Amino acid sequence: MDNLILRAKELLENKTVQVVIGYEAGPTGVVRPAFISDPANADSLIYDERCVQNLAVYLTKPEVKHLGRIAIVSSLPVMRSIMMLISEQQISYDEIVVLGISADGVLLDIADLSVMQGYIDKSDLSNPVKYKELLAELKKLTPAEKFEYWQKELSKCIKCYACRQACPMCYCTRCTVEVNQPQWISVQSNAHGNMEWHILRAMHLAGRCISCGECGRACPVGIPCHLLTMHLTDQVYNYFKVYAGTSEKMNSVMSTYEPNDKESFIV
Amino acid sequence: METIRKLIRKQSLEKLYNNLAANRKVYAPVIAADKKAEYKYNPGFADVTFDHIRSTLSVKNIVFPKVENLFFYENSKTESTITDIDLDKIPEVVLWGAHPCDNAAFDTLRSIFCWDTKDEFFSRRLEKLTVIGLGCHSSDEYCFCTSVGLSPSSSRGSDILLTKLQTGDYQAEILTAKGNEIVSSFPDLFEPLTDEKVDITEVKQKFSHKQVTEKLAGAFEHEFWIANSLRCIGCGACAYVCPTCACFDIQDETKGKNGKRYRSWDSCGFGLFTLHTSGHNPRHVQSQRWRQRIMHKFSYMPDRNESLGCVGCGRCSSGCPVDMNIAEQLEALQNI
Amino acid sequence: MSDFEPKIVAFVCNWCTYAGADLTGTSRIKYASNVKIIRFPCTGRIDFMLLLKAFSNGADGIIVSGCHPNDCHYTSGNFHAKRRWIMFKELMDFMGIDMSRITFSWVSAAEGARWAEVVNTTVTRIRELGPYVSYKELVNKSVEEEVKNG
């Protein structure tokens, strides 16, 4: 990934950006996010198939914004998250430099927002293949089997909110689950509280989820909670023909409407 | 009491387990569908694992459940009636096959929950707990018990500590009266110990906790905290999987006239943890929260509770989605 | 099960369905008394969490009703609501939660008879389905019980 390192160095040296967010291998060999502000340290940047975390989650954090202008190593999900964050007016494209990486690991030249737009436009935006298969299998189950499957999975939940914290779209400074006047959902981590939390999370991400799968990856107890949001991503496309994170001007699916939206269950 | 060492044959372990499980709750590790170890109540002996390194969650929930009801209430127009929880109903639990780090953590938790006022809920649960520990014959890169004053064969917190012998049988160290009671209930299962060659893993020491504690005393304002916590996403995973983290949140849940007050796990890593009603937040950025986590375990607790707040199980690091490796950071802190 | 009286919560908008239900009464049309009506300014205000709250507080069935499309007092509240219900239904179906316990309908201020029909068919259906046991169990299951079974 020499090109990436060279580009990162260049950006830091000519002070275009103050920090580069990318990936590095930690002392134990585990890949993790790196915040590089000294060009001399740019050599530690790596990019390979282990670099899966969605780095866009850092773009809305005050302590990261505080560092100055950011260059961010961006695979497709990161670019889509950036697009989504711009459309929701959480960040502006001027605050960042996108170090785009193609699906086969090549550094892209993302000169401006329209180039990024073009790259997203010609990419496959549906859910990743491995999850498509899982989703299809789950959909085949009977309602009772689905209920049992999710109850079993959600019973593992400890409400550490890693799914929320890992998600670039969950940037609210105060989450509904933390509001207790009125208390919208049960804070307890039990069968009922866990289910309500995961319904709430999925619904608040409907039409906003860009299918990176980060929530499921972050979960310390291995709940496939990303399947809930990915299912809704599928359905949003199915009903409204929209994928999240595809345009800086896109309106949030759940806060707009088309008069001819089709449904079959309202009597 | 003085430690007694005995031998228990591999086949006798099953008898011991089944006898205990017949009339008690036995909490033992099994390998779950996702290949990770988890603890379950009264699994069949065939499913119980003796080879796990660490379960995803610690076993602290026996004494500090993730949600614990404190009392129930009923409101009328003029007054509230409170019904206490019947603590006598807390069942006896045998913890089976937990590793020395997890068992030592009960001591650490006691130093928090019984620091000045004795926490009734916690201490009653602890009284009802008997620990049959298992020395570690395997470890991985996340283990660092030897850096926090423990070892793969530490007996702290265990009532009986089993250690695998090279013959495949087990050595049983009987450490407390509670442990002795079990052994004397099943005298046929225990034999005199002859072969003492034990199969114990080696865990490399990564840092000196004493040195870390000394360094931390003057490191509150150090730039280390910001540089090493930027990648922290502020979830509660580390605290929730930690065997010694004891912070909790108290909530009321009311339905109509009736309700309950309960406590549930909380984490100093959350932004809202220290948010004041005024809107001021003394720990308003993640670096301050990360500093608090390390300071609490390695500086404040040795100072106040005379106990280190970490047992070196490595769960926080192995469970972290962004590789906030605590042992690595402490190693670095030791040298700042 | 013969003496089972379903508890139904109806979330209705102020401008159409609530007025429609009023008309049902003034027209002296009888309908099942199992329904407890909660009036909202608009269907756009009916958060999905409110429906979950109704179930967790013991409802066996739910009716959500508002103005017909293009008749919203606030122009578009019901269109927003429609999108929300489409997604909510898909999510609930995916998680195996029984959506046949929720009736979504459009009832205008002039449709007093229709409101009675919506309520009656819902009550009949919920009566056949019986009490919503699986949700009630879910709510009542204490952590201790979970641990015991786990």
pLDDT at residue A51 tops 60: yes
Q: What is the mean pLDDT of residues B161-179?
A: 94
Q: Are B89 and B121 in contact (CB under 8 A)?
A: no
Q: Are C147 and B65 a contacting pair at CB < 8 A? A: yes
Query: Mutate which of C141, C147, C148, C149 to test chain B, going by most B C-beta atoms within 10 A?
Result: C147
User: Measured between alpha carbons, how far is A204 from A177 in angstroms, rounded to an integer?
Assistant: 12
Q: How far apart are the CA of C115 and the nearest CA of chain A, in angstroms?
A: 11
Encode pLDDT of B205-223 as tens digits: 999 999 999 999 999 999 9
Q: Are B40 and C150 a contacting pair at CB < 8 A? A: yes
User: Measured between alpha carbons, how far is A160 from B238 in angstroms, rounded to an integer?
Assistant: 9
Q: Are C62 and C32 in contact (CB under 8 A)?
A: no
- Other C-beta atoms within 10 Å of C45: how many? 16
Residues of B in contact with C147 (CB under 8 A): 41, 61, 65
Which ranges of B163-207 would DSSP assign to H, the alpha helix? Answer: 177-185
Q: For residues A76 and B34, which has the higher predicted lDDT (pLDDT)?
A: A76
What are the CA-CA distances from residue B132 to residues A45, B95, B202, B287, C89 (Å)? 47, 6, 21, 39, 49
C149 — pLDDT class (breaks 50, 70, 90): very low
| Three-class SS state of C149 | helix
- For residue A98, the cross-strand partners are A72
Q: Are C150 and B41 a contacting pair at CB < 8 A? A: yes
- Report the relative pairing of strands A96-100 and B160-164 from DSSP bridges: unpaired
- Cα-only R_g, chain A: 19
CA-nearest residue to C91 within chain A is A232
Q: How far apart are the CA of A265 and the nearest CA of chain C, in angstroms?
A: 7
Encode pLDDT of A177-228 as tens digits: 888 778 888 888 888 899 999 999 999 999 999 999 999 999 999 999 999 9
Q: How far apart are the CA of B41 and the nearest CA of chain C, in angstroms?
A: 6
Q: What is the mean pLDDT of residues B167-173?
A: 93
Dihedrals phi, psi of C62, to nearest 5 degrees: -135, 140
User: Measured between alpha carbons, how far is A224 from A131 in angstroms, rounded to an integer?
Assistant: 10
Give the end-to-end CA distance of chain B in Å, rounded to a whole number.
Answer: 43
pLDDT at site C148: 47
pLDDT at site B171: 95
- Other C-beta atoms within 10 Å of B122: how many? 19
User: Measured between alpha carbons, how far is B319 from B297 in angstroms, rounded to an integer?
Assistant: 18
Mean confidence (pLDDT) of chain A? 94
pLDDT at site A187: 83
CA-nearest residue to A148 within chain C is C96
Q: How far apart are the CA of A225 and the nearest CA of chain C, in angstroms?
A: 11
**Joined tokens for residue B225:** 């905290």
Encode pLDDT of C19-33 as tens digits: 999 999 999 999 999
Secondary-structure breakdown of chain C: helix, strand, coil percentages, each rounded to the nearest 5: 50, 15, 35
- Other C-beta atoms within 10 Å of B109: how many? 23
Give the end-to-end CA distance of chain A in Å, rounded to a whole number.
Answer: 58
CA-nearest residue to B68 within chain A is A188
pLDDT at site C150: 37
User: Measured between alpha carbons, how far is B29 from B234 in angstroms, rounded to an integer?
Assistant: 29
A68 — pLDDT class (breaks 50, 70, 90): very high
Q: What is the mean pLDDT of residues A248-259?
A: 90
pLDDT at site A211: 95
Amino acid identity of C71?
A: D
Q: Are A216 and A227 in contact (CB under 8 A)?
A: yes
pLDDT at site C144: 53
pLDDT at residue A157 tops 50: yes
| Three-class SS state of C23 | helix
Q: Are C94 and A240 a contacting pair at CB < 8 A? A: no
So where are chain B's domains? 4-334
**Joined tokens for residue B96:** 């089976």
